[in-house]
Structure 1
C-alpha cells in the first residue's frame, strides 16, 4: 500500500494506533447514507486513475473517472456495471457477488464476513483495518478496508482507502480524500449512457 503510506506518514508519526471493534464498524455503515469523495485508483499493473466517488446506500455508487479515462463504474441498487466507452462494452455483476457488497449491500453483515487486522498482522498502524470475504464464495474476492478516526463521520470512523484482491490474484487499491458524509446527491448519478445503443436516425422532412 505504498500510495496510502506515502500520504499519511507524517500523520502516523504522532498518531496512536487506532482501535475499534466490528460492531463499531457496523455502526459506521448503519449511519452512512451517502458519501462523496475524490479517489485515486492504482491497478495491479501500477496504472493510476483519479476521479469522483458518489455513494448512496443501499446499493448505489458511481466512480466517475477523469476525462482521460474512457470508463465508468456504476451500481444502480441491483447490479454493478463497468462501462468501457473505448470499446463500447458493458460488463455487469450482481452487487452481492462483488467485494464492494460490504460497502453497498446492507444485507452483507460485516460482523459475519469481516475481521479486524491488528497492526503488524495485516493492519496498518493508525487505521482500523478490516478484511472482509465470503469464505463460501472465494470467487467474490477479498476487500480490505482502512478507516481513520473521525468524530464528524458516521460511527466516528471515516473510510480512507480499500484494497481489493480478486480471484485471479490481482490487486486494486483505492484511496479516498475530501470525503463528505450524508449530503444530498443527484439520483441521476447512478444511471449511464449505454455505448452499445446507437442513436436513432432522425426522420426526414
Structure 2
C-alpha cells in the first residue's frame, strides 16, 4: 500500500499539472526535414480529437521510474475528464473544463490547477489550438501518428505528445492510444489507454466528487 501511495504521488505531481511516460526511444524525434504529409497527419489527428464527443477507457499511468497505477478514464468534450484510480490509491483527478482537481481521500486534501497551465490543455482546453502548436514527430510507422504539442511562448504549460494508431472504427480513423507529458518541472508521466469506448453515455454527474475535507474548515 505504501509503495502504491508513493508511486501515485510521484505520478500525480506530473498528472495534475500534466497528467501523463514511455521511454523516449519509443517516440523518436528525428532532426530531419518535415515530411510532405506532416500537415495532413496533423489535420487528421486534430479531426480525430474533435470527433470524440465522449469516451471511456481503461488506463495505466506510469512515472519515469516505472511505478504505475491503473484506473478508468472518462472524457466528455469540451473540457471534462475524470481519472478514477484503483481503489487502493484513494485518489481522484477531475477536470471540469477550467481546472483539474486532485482529491486525496487518504489525507483529506483537495488541490486545483488551471487546465490551461497543463499539457492536458491540448486535450481539454477549447482555446488551445492543437493545429497551431502541434508538430508531427516521425515514427517510421505509417500506422502510428505522433503529435507533440507545446506553446513555446508559455514553457510553463509543459509538453504533451499524443500517440495515435490507425483504426477505421475510431473517430476520424485514428485512436488515441497513449500520451506522454513533460511538465514544467521536467517530470514525465505516461497514460496508456486500452478498451476505448466511444459515444458512451456520459453526464455531468460523472464529474462530480465528494469533498473529503472537514465541513468546519475555515
Kindly state the Cα deviation for residue 125 of structure 1 after the two structures are TM-superposed.
Answer: 7.0
TM-score after normalising by structure 2: 0.78
Aligned length: 184
The corresponding residue for 1:10 is: none
State the 4+ residue runs in structure 1 displaced beyond 6 angstroms: none
- The runs of 5 or more residues in structure 1 that have no matched partner are 6-18, 200-205
Task: State whether residues 118 and 183 of structure 2, in contact with CA within 8 Å, keep that contact through their aligned partners in structure 1.
Answer: no
The corresponding residue for 1:132 is: 149
Distance 2:95 2:159 in 1: 19
Deviation per residue, 1:93-144 (Å, 9 max, x gap): 1111111111112221111111000026xxx774100000111111111001
TM-score after normalising by structure 1: 0.83
CA RMSD, Structure 1 to Structure 2 (Å): 2.3
The corresponding residue for 1:12 is: none
The answer to whether the aligner puts 1:171 opposite 2:188 as a matched pair is yes
The corresponding residue for 1:72 is: 92
The answer to whether the aligner puts 1:104 opposite 2:141 as a matched pair is no
Deviation per residue, 1:44-93 (Å, 9 max, x gap): 33211000000001110000001111110000122111111122211111
The corresponding residue for 2:74 is: 54
- The runs of 5 or more residues in structure 2 that have no matched partner are 1-21, 27-37
Task: State whether residues 150 and 157 of structure 2, in contact with CA within 8 Å, keep that contact through their aligned partners in structure 1.
Answer: yes
Distance 1:56 1:156 in 2: 19
Flag the structure with larger Rg: 1
Task: State whether residues 72 and 83 of structure 1, in contact with CA within 8 Å, keep that contact through their aligned partners in structure 2.
Answer: yes
The corresponding residue for 1:15 is: none
The corresponding residue for 1:16 is: none
